[in-house]
Amino acid sequence: MTRVVIIGGGPGGYEAALVAAQLGAEVTLVERTGLGGAAVLTDCVPSKTLIATSEVMTTIERAGELGLKVTASGEDDSIASSVEVDLAAVNKRVLDLAQAQSDSIAAQLERVGVTVVNGSAKLDGPTAVLVTSDQGEERIESDIILLATGTTPRELETATCDGEHILNWKQVYNLTELPEKLIVVGSGVTGAEFANAYDALGVDVVLVSSRSQVLPGEDQDAAAVLQGVFERRGMEIMSECRANAARREGDEVVVTLEDGREIRGSHCLMAVGSIPNTQGIGLEEAGIELSKSGHIVVDKVSRTSQRTVYAAGDVTGVFALASVAAMQGRIAMWHALGDAVAPLNLKSVSSNVFTAPEIATVGMTQKQVDEGELKIGTKTLQLAGNPRAKMQGVTEGFVKVFCLPVTGIIVGGVVVAPHASELIHSLSLAVAEKITVDQFSHDFTVYPSMSGSIAEAARQLHLHDHPEKPSKTQV
Rg (Cα) of the chain, in Å, rounded? 24
Q: Quote the distance between the C-alpha of residue 20 and its chain's center.
A: 26
What distance in Å separates the CA atoms of residue 388 and residue 383, rounded to the nearest whole number?
9
Contact between 184 and 205 (Cβ < 8 Å) = yes
What distance in Å separates the CA atoms of residue 78 and residue 204, rounded to the nearest whole number?
19
Residue 373: predicted pLDDT: 81
What distance in Å separates the CA atoms of residue 321 and residue 307, rounded to the nearest whole number?
25
Terminal alpha carbon distance of the chain = 56
CA dihedral 348, 275, 226, 421 (to 10 degrees): 40
Instruction: Kindly list the strands in the beta sheet with 166-167, ordered across the sheet, starting from the edge strand earlier in the chain.
Output: 166-167, 267-270, 181-185, 204-208, 236-238
CA dihedral 77, 83, 84, 89 (to 10 degrees): 180
Say how many residues make up the chain.
475
Cβ atoms within 10 Å, residue 118? 15
Q: Which residues lie closer than 8 Å to 161 by C-beta, 6 or more apart? A: 153, 155, 167, 168, 171, 270
Query: Max CA-CA distance within the chain?
Result: 75
What distance in Å separates the CA atoms of residue 45 and residue 56, rounded to the nearest whole number?
17
CA dihedral 237, 239, 242, 243 (to 10 degrees): -10
Q: Can you list the pairs that 463-469 forms with residues at least 24 positions away whose Cβ atoms lie under 8 Å?
A: 464/377, 464/403, 464/405, 464/406, 464/408, 464/437, 465/375, 465/377, 465/405, 465/406, 466/406, 467/406
Collapse the DSSP code of 75 into the 3-class scheme (helix H, G, I; strand E, B; otherwise coil) and give the result.
coil
Q: Which residues lie closer than 8 Å to 382 by C-beta, 6 or more apart? A: 397, 398
| Residue environment code for 217-226, b if the CB has 16+ CB neighbours within 10 A, otherwise e | ebbbebbebb
Looking at the DSSP bridge assignments, the partners of residue 256 are 245, 262
Per-residue pLDDT tens digits of the chain, which is 475 residues long: 899 999 999 999 999 999 999 999 999 999 999 999 999 999 999 999 999 999 999 988 888 888 988 776 666 777 777 889 999 999 999 999 999 999 999 999 999 999 999 999 999 999 999 999 988 999 999 999 999 999 999 999 999 999 999 999 999 999 999 999 999 999 999 999 999 999 999 999 999 999 999 999 999 999 999 999 999 999 999 999 999 999 999 999 999 999 999 999 999 999 999 999 999 999 999 999 999 999 999 999 999 999 999 999 999 999 999 999 999 999 999 999 999 999 999 999 999 999 999 999 999 999 999 999 888 999 999 999 999 999 999 999 999 999 999 999 999 999 999 999 999 999 999 999 999 999 999 999 999 999 999 999 999 999 766 544 444 444 3
Amino acid of residue 306 = Q
Contact between 275 and 152 (Cβ < 8 Å) = yes
Strand ranges, E, within 287-442? 309-311, 350-353, 358-363, 377-382, 398-403, 410-417
Which of 206, 235, 224, 199 shows the shortest CA–CA distance to 61?
199
What distance in Å separates the CA atoms of residue 440 and residue 428, rounded to the nearest whole number?
12
- Cα three-residue angle 279-281-285, rounded to 5 degrees: 100
What distance in Å separates the CA atoms of residue 9 and residue 284, rounded to the nearest whole number?
22
Q: Can you list the pairs that 421-426 forms with residues at least 24 positions away whose Cβ atoms lie under 8 Å?
A: 421/352, 421/354, 421/358, 421/360, 423/360, 423/399, 423/450, 423/451, 423/454, 424/350, 424/352, 424/360, 424/361, 424/362, 425/350, 426/451, 426/454
What distance in Å separates the CA atoms of residue 385 and residue 405, rounded to the nearest whole number?
27
What are the tens digits of pLDDT across the range 376-411?
999 999 999 999 999 999 999 999 999 999 999 999
Angle between helices 44-61 and 189-200 (to 10 degrees): 40
Which of 466, 150, 139, 113 shows the shortest CA–CA distance to 279?
150
